[in-house]
Amino acid sequence: MDSTLEPLARSLREAPVVDRDGYEYFVHGVTDGIPPVDPAVLQAVADGIRERIDLDDIDTLVAPEAMGIHHGTALSLATGIPLVVVRKRSYGFPEEVAVHQETSYGESELYLNGVDAGDRVVLIDDVRSSGGTIEAVCDALEAVEAEVVDIVVVLRRVDADHEDAARDVTSLLDVRVRDGAVEVLGFDDLE
């Protein structure tokens, strides 16, 4: 058990699970902002990322709106590395790249601005389920000729299909939904 992530693991065990058109979706502060995210959980996320990936020589952290923002912000504050948010609205800048994302529970448009050719970036998101968001954002980063050095998610759903299997993704915790509850793998002994 990684004690750094214990506050996150404990909080996940209380997360309600809802049905979104046949997809079992868990609701948690890390993935939805509901309930409020405890600062100790955000600190655990930032510390966990810093322990798992090499942030030397990274120019920019990139986080998709909305639920990657608070993880990217916590890491940016902890490291001093600038953060770019892939937004849900277009600003019409000449270098803007449209990103079409398809996930297990919907699809939408995102827009990338502020990343230049040659930038070394780390992509940060809340959860890897289908892999649709990660794949779409990576395609956009590659289109602007940025170097995706690492991809990190707070949670990886091991009970979901990962369309982005060709990409290496670092996860802090692996979770699954079983019998209407969130299970955190490797933390079975938590009470």
Which domains are delineated in the chain? 3-183 (3.40.50.2020)
Average model confidence (pLDDT) for the chain?
A: 88
The 10s digit of each residue's pLDDT in 94-124 is 999 998 877 655 678 899 999 999 999 999 9
What proportion of the chain, given as a percentage, has pLDDT over 70?
Answer: 90
Pairing type for strands 170-178 and 17-20 reads unpaired
11-15, 51-55, 158-162 — which is least confidently predicted? 158-162
The 10s digit of each residue's pLDDT in 42-89 is 999 999 999 999 999 999 999 999 889 999 999 999 999 999 999 989
Residue 164: the pLDDT is 45
